[in-house]
Structure 1
């Protein structure tokens, strides 16, 4: 293989790293001691809460695990997490996430507690967040509709960014990483993956200013394609962040800007007669502004406010390239297009601690979503207003209960008058906790599902203004055992189960009136259920985990099963995952292994909503291996291999091969085994 990787870079690192959320320092690590001293969570909490005291089941991915993955995107970090799967659309260059058997709009993606905006059911926003700005990730399993509203039926993924350290300091950081795409790599012709990042932070006791810019360049992957075509399309991405923060004794406020400028390039096949090829550039621009503030009125009352604005657009530029590589604009209908999606979001919360046994959190939410473009019918908008309340009741040290109610008004759909939830934690013993929860869910169709029409050579997807809103009832429970909690040794085991019932779930299907069109339809009844087990070990030198899940999914396509056929049973899929981070203290090095087995995925499908058949996607193994070594006080080297089992595509028995949005044929998963090398040199004034 060709010589890889010429690297020059400057970055930051201190012997100890403090991870911090907007509420304060939550953990501390050193190179010599990776064990977490105090693991805190903030997602869904009235105030920062220790992981054990939370009434919600929360999984965390800390900064150490993120750093050791050597990831250039969030998908790499999440793809070995239990219950999470990704699907890829190679025609559009996008990916979607699935959580605990549910996907798309039912998974809420938050950035520092603020919803991310997407065009539709796919969660493109996950790939447009700078991995270098992330401190930790919190995953809440189960519905959070009362706290976070629409899209939180399956759960919440909250991405928490770095907020800096206390005291005065000047921090300069940079990163450079080179990676192959399968066997393809060249430093000079853009083959492979090339990542560079540069960040600067200045702060004193009260003020902080920070900025970060990252460039990701993926040259695509030829795979089995020939000529100009590629199995995976090239992607160029620039990511920007800038922030300012004021910290007072009782009041703080901070502003953050996140920008993404991304272009995905599709190279068409040349016509054998005219020698003309049709190319497409898909250009996305995301400008995300957020302001957050906290006021501590007194020891009992805290007020928080959030305001954000997102301007997200995706443009399609179609060109024709002749035999002499001369490029002209395509004149085909719909070949030039730009769709714009905007969201204004406002959230205010108040937390009042009446006593040690009783506290109450209440708040208001407002979101205003608008869209426009040639493929969108008119300039539609959807606004939603909500008021929620969630008291917490403590019965001694044994029981915590958090009932909740959300009252909402939707400008398009008749929302239920109130959405209830109940979460609780029972302390059975000093080492054993039992969590349980119920929540009612409601989701109105998104603008894309209602009004967006997308037609090209590979797609014919049309919005459906007759869609109904989704409703759900969800139940979950978890038994957590703290087997050992000594200072340098911690062992935990968690056994969980869940059951979700969805009515009128929105999904893509062939239009019953026109088999050449794909549209959004309501599935009459959809259920998921399953069991999970997760075991974690932390010592002075080791972070390790071993877990598994068994998840079932059930579809009934019609309210009249005697006419259209009722699906007979749940279809099940297993998963196993594990990771191991081992630190060699004396030589300041480490080796890290991440593994997951995703079992076969059965799925009922119907091309005409009358005849139903069972399709199946085969299971697969994936694993990443990385090694790291520190040199001196500031330099760190990270190298490794991804996708050790060299998975590219999965066999799929779906018979849907004739539709405009076909699910038939091989399922793309990756571009094969790849190798990477990254160099970090980190500098801090103090």
Structure 2
């Protein structure tokens, strides 16, 4: 039976009915306004400061030390080395993150708690984010719409930037590597009494690379980009605080479609973030937040005579005010509630109109420790929207300490992904081939227009099917796991997950054109699931040596396809001329671009006597399929697959005179490339770096 959001409460009552506890066992809830928390601290999972080891949710934290030691340049570099995460290139060359087998469009990307925008085709390119000023990266797996709304159907990744230390301090960083790659940072911070300021500048230049010598195009064309980031905090009193931040990003890249068609691609992005916080008493606190961001992308192609062949633009704006209050009636319980409003516009080439989204929302969460061993989180959010049906997103999570060394935890939540601007308002006709793609809301008026022009031969789907709204994609996410720390030096964790996704948005033919081509549009049809197991381990053999590893087992399948294989309705051919044969249930592999197995392994070693640290890291991805190659429209055991591969990196860093650090490393040590299928692995990269602290 499919699990929907109405079953969530029943599920939790059944699953945790066997948990018993004494009402006399009580601990103080760990809130930033109550206690000083020791160890790794995370804020994304609950929107409050919580100790990582006490959370009832599947969460990963990447520290600044690890980011610095591995000499990563961009966010995609560091995320690729985490359990259950893989960056996947899209058709435009950007890299989005796949999490628990879910596409990048289902993972919300935040910087300091506020969202990035600019998903031209569902993918948010995380390679545009520098890691030079990152304090830590927080990864929350599982549906998180109860706190964050749309796009958090699969999880949330929050990039926390640095805050300045006391006095005047900073660093200069430069890395030079293969493929004419130059990455340079300047980071300056100042803190004194009530005032703290920080300024960060990054320049990233690449000569691009080419994996295929048989054509005139590079796999990645040369580009350069710049990031400017500033933060300011001011304490009016010990109870009232002001936070201001701004970020600007610009990129220019060569845009070459053929030997004759050449141009430029430009991206400009900015955001501004204001937050005013106040603590009324030991029990009450609140903040007001205002966030606004704009993402612009423009590109053009010119003919050999410099006349314009084509051009396109993308201009998205988001405004979001929010108010949030925290109430802690006792030292073991806290309520968090918020009200906000999203206003979003997009001006884009090939749109039927200039759409505008308005979506007020409200959320409430209760975080409580009824006993010393038990933590329970219950929350929900309501999102209204001007263009699709309202969404109610509940979530519950629980953690229980069986012993001092072993704890079990589980969470279940509802997540949703709203139809994006493209799926609602796209109006594109390919001038060369002749097909047309229409957004759901553009279908009725545009089909009538094409019929009046004599371009429609016949309709496949009646226009009455477009009278209702396109539904948001939605999912019920379940995570059940355990943390086991048999010794102070060994940490083990395991998590089983299941994501049931309904109303998946796909494309279909809605009409045939008189030129022999089709008209496509979007509709709710598919029901898919991703499920599997994740395992993480960390072993600290000494103060100098740390070994860690992770593994994910993943099954990602379309429920309709699974039934078709089970019923014997699917056939395949080994060659175009060979006879077809019936496929079995076990022949169905699953969704495209998903690997059954992924793993990572890392060894970090410090040489204190030499002020030197070194590490080696490896990642493995098993085979996966990108296309149906035997003509049955499914990925089965007889299709062609991208073979499994591993990538190994090494890094060595030497500190000189305390404030100077030299680094050397090799990314993709054995030079793995796949010229046909994998465009985001360039080959062996040899680099050196210099970092100066002041």
TM-score range normalised by the length of the shorter chain: 0.7 to 0.9
Answer yes or no: is the 8 Å Cα contact 1:173–1:681 preserved in 2.
Answer: yes
Answer yes or no: is the 8 Å Cα contact 2:255–2:300 preserved in 1.
Answer: no
Q: Say whether residues 1:644 and 2:675 are aligned partners.
A: no
Most deviating of 552-561 and 429-438: 552-561
1:252-271 to 2 correspondences below 5 Å: 252-270=241-259
Most deviating of 623-632 and 297-306: 297-306
Matched with 1:581 is: 604
The Cα shift of 1:177 comes to 1.0
Q: Say whether residues 1:251 and 2:226 are aligned partners.
A: no
Matched with 2:683 is: 672
Most deviating of 351-360 and 124-133: 124-133
Q: Say whether residues 1:430 and 2:404 are aligned partners.
A: yes
Query: What is the TM-score with the length of structure 2 in the denominator?
Result: 0.81
Q: Cα–Cα, structure 1 residues 605 and 635, in superposed 2: closer, same or farther, change >3 Å? A: same
Equivalent in 432, 441, 461 of residue 415 of structure 2: 441
Answer yes or no: is the 8 Å Cα contact 1:120–1:447 preserved in 2.
Answer: no
Most deviating of 391-400 and 54-63: 391-400
Answer yes or no: is the 8 Å Cα contact 1:647–1:669 preserved in 2.
Answer: no
Answer yes or no: is the 8 Å Cα contact 1:94–1:122 preserved in 2.
Answer: no
Q: Cα–Cα, structure 1 residues 519 and 62, in superposed 2: closer, same or farther, change >3 Å? A: farther
Alpha-carbon distance between aligned partners in 1 of 2:432 and 2:614, rounded to the nearest angstrom: 46
Q: Cα–Cα, structure 1 residues 540 and 260, in superposed 2: closer, same or farther, change >3 Å? A: same
| CA deviation map 1:271-318 (0-9, x unaligned) | xxxxxx211311110011111232222111221332211110110122
1:594-673 to 2 correspondences below 5 Å: 594-602=617-625, 611-614=633-636, 615=639, 616-649=641-674, 666-673=677-684
The Cα shift of 1:99 comes to 0.5
Alpha-carbon distance between aligned partners in 2 of 1:282 and 1:23, rounded to the nearest angstrom: 47
Answer yes or no: is the 8 Å Cα contact 2:334–2:366 preserved in 1.
Answer: yes
1:54-69 to 2 correspondences below 5 Å: 54-69=55-70
The Cα shift of 1:531 comes to 0.4
Alpha-carbon distance between aligned partners in 1 of 2:434 and 2:410, rounded to the nearest angstrom: 43
Matched with 2:369 is: 394
| CA deviation map 1:359-400 (0-9, x unaligned) | 211112321111013322211012222111111232211211
Q: Cα–Cα, structure 1 residues 292 and 75, in superposed 2: closer, same or farther, change >3 Å? A: same
Answer yes or no: is the 8 Å Cα contact 2:511–2:520 preserved in 1.
Answer: no
Matched with 2:107 is: 107
1:34-183 to 2 correspondences below 5 Å: 38-89=39-90, 92-165=92-165, 167=166, 169-181=167-179
Secondary structure (helix, strand or coil) at the match of 1:72 reads coil
Answer yes or no: is the 8 Å Cα contact 1:82–1:548 preserved in 2.
Answer: yes
The Cα shift of 1:227 comes to 7.4
Answer yes or no: is the 8 Å Cα contact 2:32–2:49 preserved in 1.
Answer: no
Answer yes or no: is the 8 Å Cα contact 2:43–2:50 preserved in 1.
Answer: yes
The Cα shift of 1:463 comes to 4.7
| CA deviation map 1:576-625 (0-9, x unaligned) | 111122110111001111111011124786999x8434353322101110
Answer yes or no: is the 8 Å Cα contact 1:419–1:440 preserved in 2.
Answer: yes
The number of residue pairs the alignment matches comes to: 607
Q: Say whether residues 1:359 and 2:334 are aligned partners.
A: yes
Matched with 1:329 is: 307
Answer yes or no: is the 8 Å Cα contact 2:589–2:635 preserved in 1.
Answer: no
| CA deviation map 1:73-127 (0-9, x unaligned) | 11111111111112224x6231221011001221111111111112344443522
Answer yes or no: is the 8 Å Cα contact 1:233–1:264 preserved in 2.
Answer: yes
Answer yes or no: is the 8 Å Cα contact 2:436–2:518 preserved in 1.
Answer: no
| CA deviation map 1:412-431 (0-9, x unaligned) | 11124x32111111111111
Answer yes or no: is the 8 Å Cα contact 1:523–1:558 preserved in 2.
Answer: no
Alpha-carbon distance between aligned partners in 2 of 1:262 and 1:587, rounded to the nearest angstrom: 40
Equivalent in 186, 196, 208 of residue 208 of structure 1: 196
Determine which structure has the larger strand proportion and give its number.
1
Answer yes or no: is the 8 Å Cα contact 1:120–1:446 preserved in 2.
Answer: no
Alpha-carbon distance between aligned partners in 2 of 1:456 and 1:81, rounded to the nearest angstrom: 43
| CA deviation map 1:613-641 (0-9, x unaligned) | 43533221011100000010210011100
Alpha-carbon distance between aligned partners in 1 of 2:527 and 2:407, rounded to the nearest angstrom: 33
The Cα shift of 1:520 comes to 4.6
Q: Say whether residues 1:547 and 2:536 are aligned partners.
A: no
Q: Cα–Cα, structure 1 residues 153 and 321, in superposed 2: closer, same or farther, change >3 Å? A: same
Alpha-carbon distance between aligned partners in 1 of 2:163 and 2:194, rounded to the nearest angstrom: 13
1:437-586 to 2 correspondences below 5 Å: 437-453=411-427, 462-465=437-440, 467-485=470-488, 490-507=489-506, 520-538=522-540, 539-556=542-559, 568=585, 571=590, 573-586=596-609
Q: Say whether residues 1:406 and 2:408 are aligned partners.
A: no
Secondary structure (helix, strand or coil) at the match of 2:662 reads strand
Equivalent in 338, 346, 349 of residue 371 of structure 1: 346
The Cα shift of 1:351 comes to 1.3
Q: Cα–Cα, structure 1 residues 643 and 611, in superposed 2: closer, same or farther, change >3 Å? A: closer
The Cα shift of 1:555 comes to 0.9
Q: Say whether residues 1:344 and 2:332 are aligned partners.
A: no
Answer yes or no: is the 8 Å Cα contact 1:509–1:607 preserved in 2.
Answer: no
Answer yes or no: is the 8 Å Cα contact 1:95–1:122 preserved in 2.
Answer: no
Q: Cα–Cα, structure 1 residues 612 and 548, in superposed 2: closer, same or farther, change >3 Å? A: closer
Secondary structure (helix, strand or coil) at the match of 1:396 reads coil
Matched with 1:318 is: 301
Answer yes or no: is the 8 Å Cα contact 2:163–2:189 preserved in 1.
Answer: no
Answer yes or no: is the 8 Å Cα contact 1:85–1:97 preserved in 2.
Answer: yes
Alpha-carbon distance between aligned partners in 1 of 2:679 and 2:434, rounded to the nearest angstrom: 17
Most deviating of 290-299 and 497-506: 290-299
Answer yes or no: is the 8 Å Cα contact 2:95–2:125 preserved in 1.
Answer: no
Q: Cα–Cα, structure 1 residues 462 and 682, in superposed 2: closer, same or farther, change >3 Å? A: farther
Alpha-carbon distance between aligned partners in 2 of 1:92 and 1:558, rounded to the nearest angstrom: 29
Alpha-carbon distance between aligned partners in 1 of 2:226 and 2:584, rounded to the nearest angstrom: 46
Secondary structure (helix, strand or coil) at the match of 2:146 reads helix
The Cα shift of 1:461 comes to 8.2
Q: Cα–Cα, structure 1 residues 47 and 119, in superposed 2: closer, same or farther, change >3 Å? A: closer
Structure showing greater radius of gyration is 2
Alpha-carbon distance between aligned partners in 2 of 1:573 and 1:679, rounded to the nearest angstrom: 39
What is the RMSD of the two structures over their aligned residues, measured on CA atoms? 3.0
Secondary structure (helix, strand or coil) at the match of 2:556 reads strand
Answer yes or no: is the 8 Å Cα contact 2:255–2:299 preserved in 1.
Answer: no
Most deviating of 41-50 and 511-520: 511-520
| CA deviation map 1:493-529 (0-9, x unaligned) | 0011001110122356788858677765544211000
| CA deviation map 1:205-224 (0-9, x unaligned) | 11122212111111111332
1:2-41 to 2 correspondences below 5 Å: 38-41=39-42
Determine which structure has the larger helix proportion and give its number.
2
Matched with 1:281 is: 264
Matched with 1:197 is: 185
The Cα shift of 1:133 comes to 1.5
Alpha-carbon distance between aligned partners in 2 of 1:367 and 1:241, rounded to the nearest angstrom: 23
Query: What is the TM-score with the length of structure 1 in the denominator?
Result: 0.82
Answer yes or no: is the 8 Å Cα contact 1:117–1:125 preserved in 2.
Answer: no
Alpha-carbon distance between aligned partners in 2 of 1:236 and 1:512, rounded to the nearest angstrom: 43
Alpha-carbon distance between aligned partners in 2 of 1:25 and 1:197, rounded to the nearest angstrom: 35
Matched with 1:12 is: none
Alpha-carbon distance between aligned partners in 2 of 1:492 and 1:511, rounded to the nearest angstrom: 54
